[in-house]
């Protein structure tokens, strides 16, 4: 692999940094220590730095020697609210908080790229380093956008990446079009009448109704959505009652919808409301249904995808670029940035087959120099004019 020499020389230092971040994970919008380290590093390397963007976000700006486009490079910084079972010296020191998705690696690789580019600004244009808070279903990208991210730091194109255990180390996938799903979150409350468990006829029991509703919702996809379309409806939480001998007055469930097609999303929302109200009515109950779009579809621009592919091939070779990976029904709030600025989202493989968000997930440090070198190439590579724009 063609790892940039500067990155190769400093790789051990950044592995130590990544492991330090792993040992001190922080939940979204609470990444104060992480953001402080990022800002300190950027300033030490002579990169203009703004903090507090969208809460705890950090943005660095580095200008090259000649005229050219402004390229945004984004990494997420937050950890997950989950317990780690990883048995390594740098395991999480924070109970119930864990970098189980590899954002510590994303942050570190972007810092590696920033250090490399700052060491020799032999590129045209400007690069904007975006360290985003709160990617894990907390709306960090939207918070940065609401804080004027692209008004304050305009970009012509933007790129992000995610480590991907399903791909081998040295492999990389980037495809045009939808690559990660849009997602809604929903909450449903069934309201009945409580009673003593020995006298159920005096109440309106929500427990059998919520049980029936969970099963009924499983047909939302199979019987309402074109089988060719990708869609998921998952119930992920059920809450009802607090005693052995009391029929509760309310029951609540929550979950998520996943889709690539906005029309499919609307069908799922309609089925969610219709089924919930129908089951409630059949049991003499009332239903309150709330659904809200949270992640947009992550959509790669075709032109930027080709650029990313060419840049990645110069690092890992063209035969290791996977172009047939199926889109993921997981979601990513980098989608919000791609809806404003065209760009591409890449998946970079690494050793270790434990899935993301698993308590034994382990980030492979060997991917750091690969990812950083690809990010550097996205800035430094020879460029053709973007369609519709002058040189």
pLDDT tens digits along 78-87: 999 999 999 9
Is residue 382 predicted with pLDDT exceeding 80? no
Residue 241 region by backbone torsions, left for phi larger than 0, else alpha for psi between -120 and 50, else beta: left
What are the pLDDT digits (tens) for 100-111? 999 999 999 999
Of 217, 186, 173, nearest to 309 (Cα)?
173
Residue 137 is predicted with a pLDDT of 87
Q: CA-CA-CA-CA torsion for 234, 239, 244, 249, nearest 10 degrees?
A: -120
Q: Is 284 helix (H, G, I), strand (E, B) or coil?
A: coil
Residue 269 predicted with pLDDT over 80: yes
Residues with Cβ within 8 Å of residue 156, at least 6 apart in sequence? 69, 70, 71, 341, 386, 389
Which tens digit of pLDDT belongs to each residue from 281-305? 999 999 999 999 999 999 999 999 9
Q: How many CA atoms lie within 13 A of 49 on its CB side?
A: 22
CB proximity list for 257: less than 8 A, separation 6 or greater:
183, 184, 186, 231, 232, 233, 265, 268, 269, 272, 291
Q: How confident is the model at residue 383 (pLDDT cuts 50, 70, 90)?
A: low
234-264 burial: b if 16+ Cβ within 10 Å, else e: ebeebebeeeeeebbbbbbbbbbbbbbbeeb
Residues 300-347: pLDDT tens digits?
999 999 999 999 999 999 999 998 899 999 999 999 999 999 999 999
Whether the per-residue pLDDT at 217 is higher than 50: the answer is yes
> What share of the chain has pLDDT > 70, as a percent?
97
User: What pLDDT sits at residue 200?
Assistant: 96
Assigned token pair, 95: 């109970």
pLDDT band at residue 352 using 50, 70 and 90 as cut-offs: confident
pLDDT bin (cut points 50, 70, 90) of residue 390 is very low
**% of the chain with per-residue pLDDT over 90:** 94
Q: How far is CA 49 from the centre of its chain?
A: 23
3-state secondary structure of 39: helix
CA 206 vs CA 36, 195, 241: distances in Å:
49, 11, 9
Q: Which residues have a Cβ under 8 Å from the Cβ of 181 and sit 6 or more positions away? A: 230, 232, 258, 259, 260, 295, 297, 298, 327, 328, 329, 330, 331
Using the structure block, give the residue that is written with the tokens 């991210």.
149
Cα gap 129→122, rounded to integer Å: 17
Confidence of residue 1 (pLDDT cuts 50, 70, 90): confident
**Residue carrying the six token digits 């001998």:** 245
């Amino acid at each position: 692999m063609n790892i940039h020499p500067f990155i190769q020389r400093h790789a051990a230092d950044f592995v130590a940094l990544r492991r330090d971040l792993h040992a001190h994970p922080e939940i979204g919008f609470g990444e104060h220590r992480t953001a402080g380290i990022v800002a300190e590093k950027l300033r030490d390397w002579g990169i203009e730095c703004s903090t507090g963007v969208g809460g705890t976000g950090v943005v660095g700006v580095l200008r090259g020697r000649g005229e050219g486009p402004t390229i945004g490079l984004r990494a997420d910084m937050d950890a997950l609210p989950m317990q780690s079972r990883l048995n390594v010296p740098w395991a999480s020191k924070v109970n119930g908080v864990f970098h189980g998705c590899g954002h510590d690696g994303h942050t570190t690789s972007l810092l590696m790229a920033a250090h490399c580019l700052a060491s020799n600004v032999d590129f045209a244009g400007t690069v904007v380093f975006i360290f985003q808070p709160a990617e894990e279903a907390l709306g960090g990208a939207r918070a940065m956008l609401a804080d004027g991210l692209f008004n304050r730091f305009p970009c012509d194109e933007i790129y992000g990446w995610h480590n991907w255990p399903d791909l081998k180390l040295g492999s990389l996938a980037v495809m045009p079009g939808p690559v990660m799903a849009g997602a809604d979150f929903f909450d449903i409350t069934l309201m009945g009448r409580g009673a003593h468990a020995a006298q159920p006829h005096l109440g309106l029991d929500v427990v059998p109704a919520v049980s029936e509703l969970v099963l009924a919702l499983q047909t939302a996809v199979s019987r309402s959505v074109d089988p060719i379309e990708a869609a998921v409806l998952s119930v992920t939480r059920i809450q009802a009652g607090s005693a052995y001998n009391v029929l509760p007055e309310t029951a609540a469930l929550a979950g998520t919808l996943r889709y690539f097609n906005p029309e499919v999303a609307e069908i799922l929302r309609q089925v969610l409301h219709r089924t919930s109200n129908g089951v409630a009515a059949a049991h003499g109950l009332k239903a309150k249904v709330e659904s809200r779009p949270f992640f947009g579809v992550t959509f790669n621009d075709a032109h930027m995808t080709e650029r990313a592919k060419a840049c990645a091939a110069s690092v890992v070779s063209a035969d290791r670029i996977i172009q047939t990976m199926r889109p993921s029904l997981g979601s990513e709030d980098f989608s919000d940035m791609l809806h404003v600025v065209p760009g591409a989202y890449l998946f970079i493989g690494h050793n270790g087959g434990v899935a993301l968000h698993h308590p034994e997930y382990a980030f492979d440090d060997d991917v750091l120099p690969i990812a950083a070198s690809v990010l550097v190439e996205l800035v430094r590579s020879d460029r053709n004019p973007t369609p519709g724009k002058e040189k």
